[in-house]
Amino acid sequence: MECQIGVIAGDGIGPEIVTEARKVLDRVGSKYGHSFHYTDILMGGCSIDATGVPLTDEAIAAAKASDAVLMGSIGGNTSTSPWYKLPPDKRPEAGLLKLRKSLNLFANLRPAYLYEELKAACPLRDDIIGSGFDMMIMRELTGGLYFGERKTETVDGVVTATDTLTYSETEIRRIAKRGFDIAMKRRKKVTSVDKANVLDSSRLWRKIVEEVAKDYPEVTYEHMLVDNCAMQLVKDPKQFDVILTENMFGDILSDEASMVTGSIGMLSSASLNDTKFGLYEPSGGSAPDIAGKGIANPIATILSAAMMLRYSFDLDKEADAIESAVKQVLKEGYRTIDIMPQAGESTEGITKVGTARMGDLIAERV
């Protein structure tokens, strides 16, 4: 298969972790007879430095011309980077929001899976972890508070900021259908998360989810308020299969779920539209404090590449090979610094490795 992949290396640790994902993809291509062709695309702080804006029209066109886009991370230190002295619509994250909207990437999939070998890194007690957990957070990505009208004005002499939260029936229905579709391929349970006791948008969300659920009689579903869900994620994470929720709630809950697994460096994600096209990226940020040190964990980006093979190219066998290689490397005791045993824990059989070495190990085991 010939695959055209747009690559947004981005800022901070982005170029380092993307390099390792490409290394693994190239190994897959060599072993299974596929050709992956890469087009570099500027977005984020590096684009601001080069063009003055976080995302150009040319970059959007290059992304649209690709079969899928693999991304590292964007942004920098918000307190020291000159990028954050710019107006909000000129900052690195504005480029990502614009790209999501331009490509109609309305469905964000963030798996949170606890590897047996990393149970010690999980901050929860053993009796809570049990046999582990495996959930998929389905986050609506192009609506809600992040894309509503906003303004800051002076009202009666007082500076007042307003952000508008808006959802249409159509936006809710399409993400709900995608969530139930994913559940059908998993354990057939959906937990729809909202704030229906307070917000009109959540009451509409709940109504539409109930309508969609009627088309999926095999799927068990429940409603859960977002504050309760945040508590349940640390109280009993194994109860969840697919968590379906709106943009801001999903942003917060997916980061919480990632840390319950032990490290945000382990969590992949996919952002999909109505076609096979998707944007694939790790759940973590650009981590500018460790950029260039060769210690960043590339596994989330490598697993994002596996999701790309699965969802955009229907290469399930190849995606399985990457995921199995990651498990094998962890089983053999290799760890980047973020998933090393904590102080007082045994390091017997554990070997600390850097970014490039972790990429090499996984590629070798594909």
Beta pairing class for 268-272 and 278-282: antiparallel
The rounded distance, in Å, linking the Cα atoms of 50 and 65 is 22
Asked if 227 is an active-site residue, the reply is yes
Strand spans (E) along 156-197: 158-163, 189-194
Residue of 11, 115, 146, 311 marked active site: 146
Catalytic residue among 67, 194, 241, 251: 251
Residue 251 designated active-site: yes
Strands (E), 74-196: 107-113, 134-140, 150-155, 158-163, 189-194
Catalytic: which of 26, 134, 181, 255?
255
Residue 302 φ/ψ region, left for φ over 0, alpha for ψ in the -120 to 50 degree band, beta for the rest: alpha
Choice among 11, 67, 195, 338 that is catalytic: 195
Main-chain dihedrals φ then ψ at residue 78, nearest 5 degrees: -65, -20
Angle at 109 between CA 244 and CA 310, to 5 degrees: 135
* Residue 255 designated active-site: yes
Upper half-sphere CA count for residue 220 (Cβ side, 13 Å): 7
172 near 208, Cβ under 8 Å?
yes
Catalytic annotation on 195?
A: yes
Contacts of 146-151 spanning 24+ positions with Cβ under 8 A: 146/97, 146/247, 146/248, 146/251, 147/97, 147/101, 147/247
> Which residues does the annotation mark as catalytic?
146, 195, 227, 251, 255
